Amino acid sequence: MAKRHVSLKDLATELNVSISTVSRALKNHPDISCEMTRKVQELARARNYTPNPLAMGLLRQETRMIGVIVPDLVTHFFSSVISGIEYVAKQNGYYILISSSSESYGKEVESVRNLLNTRVEGLIVCLSQETKTFDHFDVLINNEIPLVFFDRVCRTDQVPSVVADNAEAARQVTRHFYENGCRRIAYINGPEQLSISKLRYEGYLQGLKDCNLPFEPELVGSCNLSPEDASVATRKLLRLKNHPDAIFGINDTVIFAAMREIKQFGLTIPTDISLVGFTGEFHSTVVEPSLTSITHPTFEMGKEAARLFFERIQHPTAPPQQIEMKTSLVIRNSSKKKAL
């Protein structure tokens, strides 16, 4: 196995000077003569020297790595947020170590442990769907290791976080339906332990109130975030003696499943049932009819999360901020106005 990287020692030996001289010369320390500095820097360039981050890490007790835990890598929302995190991390000379929890509580706990063992300087996390207890983050909180949550959050009194304006968005969707003539507005929620589920549900209720619509429990479905489960929830809604005339779902995956079910049931969108999604995956525009959807500024959310993280590195004990990002309702064909 060839020797891969030259070290200060290699340069020092070749020039017949001490390691410290080389080290100082490379950073233009005034103690070193111009002549020597020139020689050292020349050789360093020629030999393609780059400092060894392991040695630096050991010395400075830093790794310049951020651990990122997401429920999965393939959902557009998460990969886009990660892009944003990576963007800011790169600017600050940091790398990110990605670990996916596969929506599993156990894997999330394991990821936290593993990443910490790898000596990342902190974590940026979106909770798994299953996560109901949060003890695995105590180590971080107690030891003032930087931690930032995004989207699905917890312990917001202790941990900075970036979220969408979930409640407001859901409220807006509900009113949008109402203004388009819908009166039986259904909502398919996610697992109740998720912060986004709670908030979007609250927004839905508030929206009903705004429009003076009665709350009808039968119009609220719930599912884990899989297409299969969403289909089940949709079918339940469709089989009601008086089916809803509008459905919105906690995310687009859910709503795409609903869309398929509705078509299969022989109903048309939006004439029979209006549909609005939540997250704005790319394919909103290519489905038929195109899907009205709440869009997150996903890349920006990632950037904000990373920004918060670096603030945390600077001031580990500052009171935690919670950033709420504005979403926007992009109206397409799945919720077109019907004749009143």
Partner DNA sequence: GGTCACTTCGCAAAGCTTTGCACTTTAAAA
Partner DNA sequence: TTTTAAAGTGCAAAGCTTTGCGAAGTGACC
Candidate list 16, 35, 45, 143; residue touching a copy of itself; CB under 8 A: 143
In the bound state with a copy of itself, the residue whose beta carbon lies nearer, of 32 and 125, is 125
Instruction: Report if residue 258 touches DNA, rule: CB under 7 A.
Output: no
**Residue 7 in contact with DNA, rule: CB under 7 A:** yes
Q: Which residues contact 128 (CB under 8 A, 6 or more apart)?
A: 71, 101, 102, 103, 104, 105, 107, 108
Q: Exposed, middle or buried: residue 34 (CB in 10 Å: 0-12, 13-18, 19+)?
A: exposed
Residues between 34 and 53 that touch DNA (CB under 7 A): 35-36, 49, 51-52
Residues paired with 149 in a beta bridge: 125, 161
Residue 10 vs 324, nearer CB to DNA: 10
Are β-strands 322-325 and 147-150 bridged in parallel, bridged antiparallel, or unpaired?
unpaired
Residue 86: contacted member of a copy of itself, DNA, none (CB under 5 to 8 Å, by partner type): a copy of itself
Choose, by CB under 8 A, the member of 21, 22, 40, 63 that binds a copy of itself: 63
**Nearer residue to DNA within complex by CB, 54 or 340:** 54
172 CB-side CA count, 13 A: 17
Nearer to DNA, 8 or 88 (CB): 8
Yes or no: say if 283 and 332 are a contact pair by the CB < 8 Å rule: no
| Number of neighbours of residue 224 by Cβ within 10 angstroms | 15
- With b for 16 or more beta-carbon neighbours within 10 A and e for fewer, the 225-246 pattern comes to beeebbbebbeebbeeeebbbb
In whole angstroms, what is the distance from residue 26 CA to residue 7 CA?
A: 12
Note whether 138 binds a copy of itself by CB under 8 A.
no
Q: Does 27 bind DNA (CB under 7 A)?
A: yes
In 292-301, which positions are buried (b, 16+ CB within 10 angstroms) versus exposed (e)?
bbbbbbbebb
**Binding status of residue 144 toward a copy of itself by CB under 8 A:** yes
Q: Which helix (H) or strand (E) holds 39?
A: helix 34-47
In 48-188, where does DSSP find H-type helix? 53-60, 76-91, 105-117, 138-142, 166-179
- Residue span 261-300 as binding mask against a copy of itself, x where in contact by CB under 8 A, dash where not: --------------------xxx-xxxx------------
Spell out, one character per residue from 71 to 90, where the chain touches a copy of itself: x when CB under 8 A holds, - when not.
Answer: -xxx-x--xx-xx--x----
Centre a 10 Å sphere on the Cβ of residue 252 and count the other Cβ atoms it contains.
26
Q: Residue 36's binding partner, choosing from DNA, a copy of itself, none, with beta-carbon cut-off 5 to 8 A by kind?
A: DNA
Q: What residues from 61 to 90 belong to the interface with DNA (CB under 7 A)?
A: 61
Residues making contact with DNA (CB under 7 A): 5, 7-9, 16-21, 23-24, 26-27, 31-33, 35-36, 49, 51-52, 54-56, 58-59, 61
Residues making contact with a copy of itself (CB under 8 A): 1-2, 4-5, 50, 52-55, 57-58, 61, 63, 72-74, 76, 79-80, 82-83, 86, 95-100, 117-119, 143-145, 256, 259-260, 281-283, 285-288, 316
